Amino acid sequence: MDMLLNTARAWGLRLDQQQIEQFARYSAELRAWNTRVNLTAITDEEGIVARHFLDSLRCALSWGDTPSSLIDIGSGAGFPGLPLKILRPELRVALVESVGKKAAFLRHMIAVLDLRDVTVLNARAETVGRDPQHREQYDVVTARAVAELATLAEYCLPLCRVHGRVLAPKGSDIADEVARARTAIERLGGRVIGVEPVTIPGIEPRTLVVIAKVAPTPAAYPRAVGVPARRPIH
């Protein structure tokens, strides 16, 4: 946990002892559950800290004005949504996860970590994006390791309020992916405002794509479940 504390501090993010203990418990529970539910291929504590916790927390440097609400698409084992909730306990957070066993793990972690104002939505992003309770209701939308950016934009932008941001952690070589996604992003009401380098101790360079929501998403989007992945907007 020293790497977590020191790197967060270098980024200007403060973690107190209770938060460090929450991250330690999260790591332990993740490894325990992973023996029976396929949650992550990364099972050593240093890898979990670097590739999951720090990669998640880096989003907080790029979310603009301090947000009050966040929705995490394809949350899986909770990244980046749960680490960001631990960092900012006042955030209202929704975690969207279509796989039932993973959704069960998320609910377990919320209870174990005693987190308040966190909702798990066991549903597809396309369905949530058409629900008036969630459509264009969030200051920040996050999604990691879910899909190519053109498809991801259709999952995320319908949920983001105008003037909010979509944050998509990605690998290092993404110039072509960003270029392929520009038409989709613009049609859905977004604009790429940053492709930021991310440096985390001990792992390869990464990037964070930052998309601003500049106009409402047209009512036709998101399309039916499965369509954004099969036929990305070009």
CA distance 156 to 61: 19
- pLDDT band at 173; cut points 50, 70, 90: confident
Judging by beta carbons within 10 Å of its beta carbon (0-12, 13-18, 19+), is residue 186 exposed, middle or buried? middle
Say which residue the tokens 């036929």 belong to. 231
Q: What is the pLDDT of residue 25?
A: 97
138 or 42, higher pLDDT = 138
pLDDT digits (tens, 9 = 90+) for 49-71: 999 999 999 999 999 988 999 99
Which residue in the block uniquely carries the two structure tokens 């264009």?
Answer: 136
Whole-structure pTM value: 0.96
Averaged pLDDT, 92-114: 97
**% of the chain with per-residue pLDDT over 70:** 100
The per-residue pLDDT for 147 is 86
Three-class secondary structure of residue 127 per DSSP:
helix
The β-bridge relationship of strands 190-198 and 206-213 is antiparallel
Confidence at residue 12, expressed as pLDDT on a 0 to 100 scale:
96
Q: What's residue 110's pLDDT?
A: 98
Determine the pLDDT at residue 143. Answer: 96
What average pLDDT score do residues 20-37 get? 95
List alpha helices for 34-115, DSSP H. Answer: 45-47, 55-57, 81-87, 100-112
Contact 165, 64 (CB under 8 A): yes
**147-175 exposure pattern, b = at least 16 Cβ within 10 A, e = fewer:** bbbbbbbbbbbbbbbeebbbbbbbeeebe
- Reference 13, options 111, 98, 77, 80; nearest CA is 80
pLDDT tens for 104-154 read 999 999 999 999 999 999 999 999 999 999 999 999 999 997 889 999 999
Q: Tokens at residue 162, please? A: 């105008």
166: nearest Cα among 181, 178, 175, 155: 155
d(CA 70, CA 88): 11
Identify the pLDDT of residue 146.
Answer: 81
Residue 1 banded pLDDT, cuts 50, 70, 90? confident
Q: Comparing C-alpha atoms, which of 57, 61, 71, 53 is closest to residue 117?
A: 71
Residue 168: pLDDT over 90:
yes
Helices (H), the chain: 2-10, 17-33, 45-47, 55-57, 81-87, 100-112, 125-128, 149-156, 175-187, 227-230
State the pLDDT at residue 43: 87
Average per-residue pLDDT in the chain?
95
Domain ranges of the chain: 2-230
pLDDT the model gives residue 111 = 97
Which CATH entry fits the domain spanning 2-230: 1.10.1740.10, 3.40.50.300, 3.40.50.150, 3.40.50.360? 3.40.50.150
